[in-house]
Amino acid sequence: MTTTTDYLACIRTGDWLDAQTFPPLRWAVPEILPEGFGLLTGPPKAGKSWLVYGLLLAIASGKPALGRVATGWPRPVLFLALEDGDRRMQRRARHLLGEGVAIPSNLHYTTVATHGDAIPIIEAWLEVYGDKAPLVVLDTLGKVMPPAMPGEGAYQRDYRIGSRLKRLADDQPGTCLLVIHHTRKLGSLDWMDSTSGSNGLNGAADFTVNLERARNEDAGVLRVTGRDVTEAEYAVVSDAGRWTVDGGSLADAARLATERRSEHGLGDRSAEVVAYVRQHPQGVRAGEVAEALGLDGKTAGTYLGRLEDAGRIRRPSRGLYTPVESVGSVESEPDSTLSTLSTALLDGPT
């Protein structure tokens, strides 16, 4: 029989919490992939599988991810590449690594799993390697998503599966478990709402990463949000499947992503106005824009007002217009300083 004491056993107090010392958040890829359960979303053929394979190989080799982001010492990784075969896995790895570079032994993978054994496979592997801060990638969730239980709605099913995956990561602190999932065809004002299915997966996940790339374009944007991560977006570029940050650092990539967002879908003249405002972070007035771009004052004011209404620029005070600040951009420091953001990761194995 359950007693009142049994129910109260799970209650903790503020002084207990104040006395605790918790380890710092660990990262598979600093500022992008933290420990825990996360989603990587994006439309089909956007390059998600190429992206994660490059990340896995970088971590397995102890090399920089996305060409710039330090990952620390070589660590084991697991890739459930359920849309690939051995031949394609080998070909892509050799392409990503470069001629003459051996595929790292820290890469563990399988190309076969069903909804009944995908989670047990991950669980068994983590029992062996879960103490080494590994990255596990499941590509894709749709390949192993089980049917709903009797009487279970889509949200309940998605949240149940997401919660099970989250427990796998939580049971092995330092583990990053990333699941690839598609987005809906219909667009959304909030990219988080584009995740295929219900919001149950987003609700269960610790973080969500989104890759967006226009068809036949090399440039894209990588968005990150989550419970314990700073919301951010970074410009990235693909060179025949090799994804890198666009610029010399994550800070550069964040600034470039903001610039692209502020100019997306604008006509030439509006884009010129946004670009001019961005060149003057202290702010500009309509007269300055008019003189610089050869407009009359009224026309310049109209452009500025419309762009401010559309959220492309800001108006912190009457008549003064400034650029839209970067979303969650990291400080402008050399990439080597990223080690300070992930001390537990980059100090090496314990």
Same structural domain, 298 and 157: no
Same structural domain, 232 and 112: yes
Same structural domain, 285 and 207: no
Alpha helices (runs of H) in the chain, residue ranges in sequence order: 4-8, 14-19, 48-61, 86-97, 118-129, 154-170, 200-204, 250-263, 268-278, 286-293, 297-309, 343-346
Please answer whether residues 71 and 41 qualify as being in contact, where contact means their C-beta atoms are separated by less than 8 angstroms: no
Same structural domain, 226 and 307: no
Name the domain count of the chain.
2
**pLDDT, tens digit only, all 350 positions of the chain:** 888 888 999 999 999 999 999 999 999 999 999 999 999 998 888 999 999 999 999 999 999 999 999 999 999 999 999 999 999 999 999 999 999 999 999 999 999 999 999 999 999 999 999 999 999 999 999 899 988 999 999 889 999 999 999 999 999 999 999 999 977 554 554 555 656 556 788 889 999 999 998 888 899 999 999 999 989 999 999 999 999 999 999 999 998 888 777 666 677 788 889 889 988 999 999 999 999 999 988 899 998 998 988 888 999 999 999 998 643 444 433 333 343 334 344 445 54
User: Measuring CA to CA, which residue among 106, 1, 19, 53 is closest to residue 241?
Assistant: 53
Does the residue 153 lie in any domain?
yes
H or E element, residue 108: strand 107-110
The string of DSSP letters for 263-280 reads: HTT--HHHHHHHHHHHT-
Host domain of residue 89? 21-259
Indicate the residue among 213, 234, 259 that finishes a domain: 259
Same structural domain, 99 and 200: yes
Does the residue 217 lie in any domain?
yes
Same structural domain, 248 and 314: no
- Exposure string for 296-333, b = 16+ CB within 10 A, e = fewer: eeebbbebbeebbeeebbbeeeeeebbbbebbbbbeee
Same structural domain, 221 and 270: no
CATH assignment of the domain containing 301: 1.10.10.10
Does the residue 15 lie in any domain?
no
Please answer whether residues 321 and 305 qualify as being in contact, where contact means their C-beta atoms are separated by less than 8 angstroms: no
User: Measuring CA to CA, which residue among 160, 104, 106 is closest to residue 135?
Assistant: 106
38 contact partners, CB below 8 Å, separation of at least 6: 176, 177, 178, 179, 205, 206, 207, 208, 209, 226
Same structural domain, 144 and 233: yes
Q: What's residue 268's pLDDT? A: 76
CATH assignment of the domain containing 135: 3.40.50.300
Same structural domain, 186 and 60: yes
Q: Which residue type occupies 106?
A: N
Indicate the residue among 259, 294, 311 that finishes a domain: 259
The span from the CA of 243 to the CA of 21, in Å, is 37
User: Measuring CA to CA, which residue among 237, 267, 261, 241 is closest to residue 328?
Assistant: 261
User: Measuring CA to CA, which residue among 108, 107, 113 is closest to residue 82?
Assistant: 113
126 contact partners, CB below 8 Å, separation of at least 6: 134, 136, 168, 171, 172, 175
CA distance readout (Å), 333 to 67, 107, 222, 250, 254: 16, 31, 20, 9, 12
Does the residue 10 lie in any domain?
no
Q: What's residue 104's pLDDT? A: 98
User: Measuring CA to CA, which residue among 266, 97, 56 is closest to residue 180?
Assistant: 56
The span from the CA of 166 to the CA of 169, in Å, is 5
pTM, full prediction = 0.78
Does the residue 96 lie in any domain?
yes
Indicate the residue among 233, 259, 285 that finishes a domain: 259
Does the residue 350 lie in any domain?
no
Q: What's residue 58's pLDDT? A: 98
The span from the CA of 75 to the CA of 135, in Å, is 8
Same structural domain, 298 and 156: no
Q: What's residue 329's pLDDT? A: 40
Same structural domain, 247 and 277: no
Does the residue 278 lie in any domain?
yes
Same structural domain, 272 and 255: no
Does the residue 190 lie in any domain?
yes
